[in-house]
């Protein structure tokens, strides 16, 4: 590891020297590198806007991207960004102080989207959908202003799996967060380099490094979320059958359209039998009623 040299990035100062932590760090770096390469995220000389919420996932994302850059495996410019959305009791000084100390180039943006969400969302409903859209719009704007080609998010394997089941249970579709997409305007990539990394590994890493974690429940609207319910289901399956999450995640990388039911993905009507003599029939096939 780079810690064996005299020069390491400040993000890794004080890293535990235990074998367990070294294995954890190596695993996260390997999985992140695999995702970046597998989904074609690297544009040499590009600039990435790395989005930080102050949670365990975004700290892990920032650290692993800097590790890859430090090793010469990520030839892109990184700009960290935190969007302060005006939630009550948000510790506005934590991330700026941390990023200054870690010598990480950054931009802190204040936009009071919380007041907008409070005004627009009916009482008793969760804020997340509208809050997320407003946050994404501001991040796209910042990326354009900073000359970035990609917005980089800290969603991990469990986020992707939970979103799949939320769409399955509540949305009536087979879909999830892709590791790479182009925004609707077509001018920015959205990357999720932690797509293969487990949430538990992010938590162990960030806490082992003593990063100043900001809780994600500041808006007070987290009770009863569909995502929490799905997470509890997955936790139960994992407890009964350890490794179940990883097996289910692998299935998202092994789709077989011919064994699903979407005629837009597979031409069922055009299927033919081979080595069977066909009888020419000029009469029109009657339509079923």
Q: CB under 8 Å to 92, separation ≥6 — which residues?
A: 84, 110
Q: Does the annotation list 216 as a binding residue? A: no
**Quick one: pLDDT at residue 111?**
87
- Rounded mean pLDDT, 263-283: 81
Q: Report which of residues 278 and 152 the model is more confident about.
A: 152
Q: Judge contact between 51 and 152, C-beta under 8 A.
A: yes
Give the Cα separation of 158 and 134 in Å (integer). Answer: 23
Where in the chain are the domains? Answer: 2-259
**Quick one: pLDDT at residue 274?**
86
Predicted confidence band of residue 139 (pLDDT cuts 50, 70, 90): very high
- What phi-psi label fits residue 195: left (phi over 0), alpha (psi between -120 and 50 degrees) or beta? alpha
**Quick one: pLDDT at residue 140?**
96
Rounded to 10 degrees, the C-alpha dihedral 170/173/179/185 comes to: -100
DSSP codes joined into one string, 75-124: -SEEEEEEEE---TT--TTHHHHHHHHTT--EEEEE--HHHHHHHHSPTT
Predicted confidence band of residue 223 (pLDDT cuts 50, 70, 90): very low
Burial class (CB in 10 A: 0-12, 13-18, 19+), 236: exposed
Give the Cα separation of 229 and 208 in Å (integer). Answer: 28
Give the Cα separation of 142 and 173 in Å (integer). Answer: 32
CA distances from 48 to 31, 155, 158, 251 (A): 19, 16, 23, 29
Beta bridge partners, 151, equal 49, 190
**Quick one: pLDDT at residue 1?**
42
3-state secondary structure of 51: strand
Q: Does the annotation list 131 as a binding residue? A: yes
Q: Report which of residues 129 and 156 the model is more confident about.
A: 156
Q: Does the annotation list 51 as a binding residue? A: no
- Rounded mean pLDDT, 7-19: 87
Q: What is the CATH number of domain 2-259?
A: 3.40.50.620
Q: Judge contact between 248 and 160, C-beta under 8 A.
A: no
Predicted confidence band of residue 97 (pLDDT cuts 50, 70, 90): very high
**Quick one: pLDDT at residue 115?**
83
pLDDT 10s digits, 74-88: 999 999 999 988 888
The least confident of 82-96, 182-196, 266-280 is 266-280
**Quick one: pLDDT at residue 117?**
81
Residue 3 has pLDDT above 60, yes or no: no
Cβ neighbour number for residue 242 with a 10 Å cutoff: 9
Tokens (6 digits) for 39: 């989904």
pLDDT 10s digits, 46-73: 999 999 999 999 999 999 999 999 999 9
**Quick one: pLDDT at residue 119?**
76
**Residue 33: phi, psi to the nearest 5?**
-60, -40
Beta bridge partners, 79, equal 49
Predicted confidence band of residue 5 (pLDDT cuts 50, 70, 90): very low
**Quick one: pLDDT at residue 7?**
60
Residue 288 has pLDDT above 80, yes or no: no
Q: Report which of residues 37 and 129 the model is more confident about.
A: 37
Pairing of strands 189-191, 180-182: antiparallel
- What phi-psi label fits residue 79: left (phi over 0), alpha (psi between -120 and 50 degrees) or beta? beta
The order of strands in the sheet holding 150-152 is: 106-110, 77-84, 47-51, 150-152, 189-191, 180-182
Q: Judge contact between 225 and 125, C-beta under 8 A.
A: no
Tokens (6 digits) for 56: 């365990």
- Rounded mean pLDDT, 118-132: 76
| Mean model confidence pLDDT for the chain | 89
- Rounded mean pLDDT, 222-234: 79
Give the Cα separation of 136 and 43 in Å (integer). Answer: 22
Residue 266 has pLDDT above 80, yes or no: yes
Give the Cα separation of 57 and 50 in Å (integer). Answer: 12
Predicted confidence band of residue 6 (pLDDT cuts 50, 70, 90): very low
pLDDT 10s digits, 194-211: 999 999 999 999 999 999
């Amino acid at each position: 590891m780079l810690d064996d040299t005299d020069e390491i990035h400040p993000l890794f100062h004080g890293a535990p020297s235990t074998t367990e932590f070294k294995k954890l760090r190596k695993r996260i770096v390997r999985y992140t590198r695999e995702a970046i390469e597998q989904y074609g995220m690297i544009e040499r000389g590009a600039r990435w806007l790395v989005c930080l919420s102050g949670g365990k996932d975004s700290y892990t994302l920032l650290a692993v991207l800097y590790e890859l850059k430090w090793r010469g495996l990520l030839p892109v410019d990184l700009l960290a960004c935190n969007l302060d959305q005006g939630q009550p009791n948000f510790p506005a000084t934590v991330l700026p102080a941390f990023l200054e100390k870690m010598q990480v180039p950054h931009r802190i943006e204040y936009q009071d989207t919380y007041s907008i969400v409070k005004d627009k969302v009916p009482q008793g409903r969760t804020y997340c959908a509208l809050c997320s859209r407003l946050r994404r719009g501001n991040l796209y704007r910042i990326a354009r202003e900073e000359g970035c080609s990609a917005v980089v998010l800290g969603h991990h394997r469990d986020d992707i799996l939970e979103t799949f089941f939320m769409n399955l249970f509540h949305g009536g579709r087979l879909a999830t967060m892709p590791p790479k997409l182009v925004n609707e305007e077509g001018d920015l990539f959205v990357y999720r380099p932690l797509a293969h990394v487990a949430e538990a590994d992010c938590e162990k890493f960030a806490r082992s490094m003593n990063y100043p974690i900001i809780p994600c429940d500041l808006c007070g609207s987290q009770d009863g979320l569909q995502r929490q319910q799905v997470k509890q289901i997955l936790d139960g399956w994992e407890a009964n059958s350890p490794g179940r999450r990883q097996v289910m995640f692998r299935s998202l990388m092994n789709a077989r359209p011919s064994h699903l039911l979407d005629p837009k993905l597979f031409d069922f009507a055009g299927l033919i039998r081979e080595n069977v003599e066909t009888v020419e029939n000029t009469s029109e096939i009657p339509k079923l009623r």
